[in-house]
Amino acid sequence: MNITASTALVTGANRGLGARFVAELLTGGVTKVYAAARDPKSVDPAIAADPRVRTLALDITDQASVDAAVSVASDVNLLINNAGVLGFGSALEGDLDLFGRDMHTNYLGTVRVTRAFVPVLASNGPAVIANVLTLIALAPVGPMAGYSASKAAAHSFTQALRAEVRDRGIEVVGAYPGGIDTDMLAGVEADKAAPEEVARRIVAGIAAGDTVIWPDDASAGAGKVYLGDPLQLERLLAG
Ligand SMILES: NC(=O)c1ccc[n+]([C@@H]2O[C@H](COP(=O)([O-])OP(=O)(O)OC[C@H]3O[C@@H](n4cnc5c(N)ncnc54)[C@H](OP(=O)(O)O)[C@@H]3O)[C@@H](O)[C@H]2O)c1
């Protein structure tokens, strides 16, 4: 996709990876970008000051909020489904309310936003939907069992969607990062990639027409394992 000719919308654009997506798209010469956030006033003022940026209120779990966003952002041809939450907890002991919150946000929120924007994307095509998933959508880590399941559901949705919208001029991209150094993993001891680097590699993958993106060195290595032997990745992450 030609980023310079694109009008993008990034969900969860006020912090973390989402803020870096907006910055990276601006660097790449995007025509316009909607920086969507639950609280649009929380978008970095330095980013919001760029004349190509429109801040937009969007809670991906709220249908009325999504409908209002679509009615404003009717010129979008690149949707980046980035917003997400992570509740910690194991398969047997994790809090079911947190499991539910992750599912409502990471899975159903992504479905809700995507369904609402497909008519817009189809009319502005060629278009791209890029879903920010995670390596652990493909094989879970125990203490993030509910989160992993919600992202596995979003991964499956990504695959089903890809086939359903291809003939409407919409390509569907899945990005599968490893750990990223944002608020989401604050306090967790792990290898973490810089969010700027992850955003840069995902935007580069979108520009190159990639369908699957491994946007950091850890996920690129683990991705190779997964593609060769999914059970080996499961054993590695469980270990
Ligand atoms: N960090 C990692 O290690 C990692 C690894 C792989 C994949 N990911 C994925 O990368 C994406 C970005 O995560 P991050 O690391 O940047 O996390 P983050 O720093 O915690 O930021 C999460 C973003 O999602 C937004 N959000 C949460 N619920 C929302 C809702 N209902 N409606 C709209 N926005 C909502 C947050 O907005 P508020 O400020 O309003 O809360 C925030 O902008 C997520 O999909 C995450 O699952 C992260």
Please give the distance, rounded to the nearest whole angstrom, from the Cα atom of residue 85 to the centre of ligand 1.
Answer: 5
**Ligand 1 atom nearest 184 alpha carbon:** 20
Distances (CA, A) of 59 to 83, 93, 115: 9, 28, 15
Average pLDDT, rounded, for the chain: 97
**Quick one: pLDDT at residue 54?**
98
Please give the distance, rounded to the nearest whole angstrom, from the Cα atom of residue 167 to the centre of ligand 1.
Answer: 30
Q: For residue range 114-130, what is the model confidence (pLDDT) as tens digits?
A: 999 999 999 999 999 99
**Quick one: pLDDT at residue 143?**
96
SS3 assignment, position 10:
strand
Task: List the chain residues with pLDDT less than 70.
Answer: none
CA 177 to CA 180: how far, in whole Å?
A: 7
**Quick one: pLDDT at residue 239?**
73
- Ligand 1: list residues with CB < 6 Å: 11-12, 14-18, 37-39, 58-61, 82-85, 105, 109, 132, 134, 177, 179-180, 182-185
Residue nearest to atom 8 of ligand 1 (CA): 134
- Would you say 150 and 102 are in contact if contact means Cβ atoms under 8 Å apart? yes
**Quick one: pLDDT at residue 127?**
98
Residue nearest to atom 36 of ligand 1 (CA): 12
Tell me the residue range of the domain where 18 lies.
3-238
Please give the distance, rounded to the nearest whole angstrom, from the Cα atom of residue 29 to the centre of ligand 1.
Answer: 24
Q: For residue range 151-174, what is the model confidence (pLDDT) as tens digits?
A: 999 999 999 999 999 999 999 999
**Quick one: pLDDT at residue 238?**
86
Number of domains in the chain: 1
The CATH number given to whatever domain includes residue 152 is 3.40.50.720
CA 226 to CA 53: how far, in whole Å?
A: 38
